[in-house]
Structure 1
Amino acid sequence: MSKSEALGAVREVRLSGGTIRYRERGDGPPVVFVHGVLVNGDIWRNVVPVVADAGFRCITPDWPLGGHEVPVPEADLTPPGVAGMIGDFLERLDLRDVTLVANDTGGALTQIFVASQPERVSQVVLTPSDCFDRFFPPMFAYLSAIGRMPGAIWLLAQTIRVRALHRLPNVLGFAAKHGVPAEVVKSYAASLQRNRAIRADLGRFLRGVDKRHTLAAANKLAAFDRPVLLAWAEEDKLFPMELPRRLAAILPDATIETVGDSYTFVPEDQPRWLAERVVEFVRKHATT
């Protein structure tokens, strides 16, 4: 589970594919966060307090993407399957008029989800994310191969223990400009290192990643007429600015806002900026 107390009380919900552990903080309109692969809800630990204190119910699941603690061996962990879990999660908690806030791989899953099941979603905030033919981006294409190689995920989990490797471009160096605290990386990797079932979950997801899923979603996004904020990092090394521009050209109601001094992990590099953008965006569209 996420280790940061800033995310609120620990809860669990049983979905059709397994149990999802999540944290909840605040009251008001629901904001649900969707992280990417090999991390968990802790990536939002500096965003959630600001959004919750502004009058929102912040719900931060640990999706089964390698940083989770509760295995889901029966779940469909293809990208469409995990996108379906987002819908199942919203339904089981009876969440309506939801704001989805997504990062990295979570942005791809969110696009896949809203392209087919937009009913409970009022607006979306996408930070730098996989989209179009970048699923995964070229520098992380090796992850799909790791999912197919026996023992490779175990080896990946062990290498994450080596702090000197965290700043490599194809580890965290091009994801977080200012690095990720060691205790947070430990939160991301602990279950993967010790639990074979978690590694099996991750392998099933990695083997299913393919750009055909994000390209198919992109072909449907013109029908998603809810407001979308594309909160992007100008210096992003993995998802360059041409991508939010392409998304904005497809989505009927999209706005691009940019931030400097950040890479893909905007919630890590610029959490205050992101939290303030989320609050402003949701309030603006709640009154229109």
Structure 2
Amino acid sequence: NSDADLSQRGVARLLGEFIEGLGLSEVTLVLNDWGGGQFLVSEGQDQHIARLVLVACEAFDNFPPGPAKAMAQVCRIPGGVWLLTRLMRVPAFRHSRGGYGGMSLRGVPDEIMDDWFAPATRSRAIRRDFAKFATGAPERKTLLAWSERLRDFDRPVLVVWATEDRLMPREHGPRLAELCPQGRLIEIADSSTLIPEDQPERLAQVLTDFLLQTGAEPVRHIS
């Protein structure tokens, strides 16, 4: 839909509508890299969220994160997203430690990055939508005001932060955990933003412990 609201706020609302449409309750919402799911709280759409896990993600005024701010400015220019898709074919650009290449200490495989960007190279509609999202963060004052509403989220929050992240400031981890009434912080060493890629076993154990400690009901398969 060319009229869809794909700003940070709009995508968060879409997530809330998706959860509502599936009829889910007692949801454990896990975010990594993208942090906009936090805005379910500021939008008053968090009634189905039982616990929140924030894994090395955008927070406070870090939307979009550090190096991506320049890319967002390029996306404001007509043809800018098309230009980015072409640049992403250049190994030195796609693997730059100051950009997407810095999201993992192990390096993001080329086939994964191809999957990320190939749809936008083929579709003008996808490039249009990407531009909407990339340029859809509000001003700093608004972002910080939305973040403050996490103080009202009275359910368990686990903050998992990477110690060697180039995109998400390390101080945001403890700051988020302190902001949330039931927040707790765990830092994972030898990892950048994509903790599921750099330290998958450690992250799986941390998530399992958190679910058990906060009384999450195990999934029961009906045969």
TM-score by length of 1: 0.71
Amino acid at match of 2:80: A
Q: Which residue matches 1:49? A: none
Contact 1:100 1:121 in 2 (8 A): yes
Q: Secondary structure at the match of 2:54?
A: strand
Asked if residue 165 in structure 1 is aligned to residue 96 in structure 2, the reply is: no
Change beyond 3 A, Cα 1:122–1:287: closer
Report the CA distance shift for 1:164/1:147 in structure 2 as closer, same or farther (over 3 A): closer
State the secondary structure of the residue aligned to 2:29.
Answer: strand
| Contact 2:61 2:143 (8 Å CA) reproduced | yes
Runs of 4+ aligned structure 1 residues displaced above 6 Å come to none
Q: CA deviation at 1:141?
A: 1.0
Question: Compared with structure 1, are the counterparts of its residues 179 and 248 closer, same or farther at alpha carbon in structure 2 (3 Å cutoff)?
Answer: same
- Contact 2:158–2:184 under 8 Å retained in 1: yes
Instruction: Deviation per CA, 1:93-144: give whole Å up to 9, x if none.
Output: 111100111012x22x111112322100011111111111211233221122
> Are 1:174 and 2:117 matched, yes or no?
no
The alpha carbon displacement at 1:287 in A equals: 5.9
Task: Give, in whole Å, the separation in 1 of the partners of 2:98 and 2:137.
Answer: 17
The one-letter code of the counterpart of 1:150 is P
Provide closer, same or farther for how the CA distance between residues 169 and 277 of structure 1 changes in structure 2, counting only shifts above 3 A: same
More strand by share: 1
Q: How many pairs align?
A: 215
Alignment of 1:132-281 (within 5 A): 132-210=60-138, 211-281=140-210
Displacement of 1:185 after TM fit?
0.8
Cα-Cα RMSD: 1.7
2:178 and 2:103 map into 1 onto residues whose CA distance is: 25
Instruction: Decide whether the 8 Å contact of 2:87 with 2:94 is kept in 1.
Output: no
Give, in whole Å, the separation in 2 of the partners of 1:86 and 1:284.
26
d(CA) in 1 for partners of 2:161, 2:127: 31
Which secondary structure does the structure 1 equivalent of 2:46 belong to? Answer: coil
For 2:141 and 2:48, locate their aligned partners in 1 and report how far apart those are by CA, in whole Å.
25
Larger Rg: 2
1:130 and 1:137 in contact (8 A); partners too: yes
Give distance in 2, aligned partners of 1:287 and 1:278: 11
- Whole-angstrom distance in 1 between the partners of 2:210 and 2:191: 20
> 2 CA distance for matches of 1:222 and 1:120?
17
Quickly say closer, same or farther: Cα 1:165–1:274, change in 2 above 3 A.
same
CA gap of 1:287–1:265, structure 2 versus 1, over 3 A, is closer
Give the whole-Å Cα distance in 2 for the aligned partners of 1:162 and 1:268.
Answer: 22
Aligned to 2:20: 91
Structure 2 unaligned blocks of 5 or more:
218-223
Q: Secondary structure at the match of 2:99?
A: helix
CA distance in 2, matches of 1:272, 1:165: 30
In structure 2, the residue corresponding to 1:214 is in which secondary structure? helix
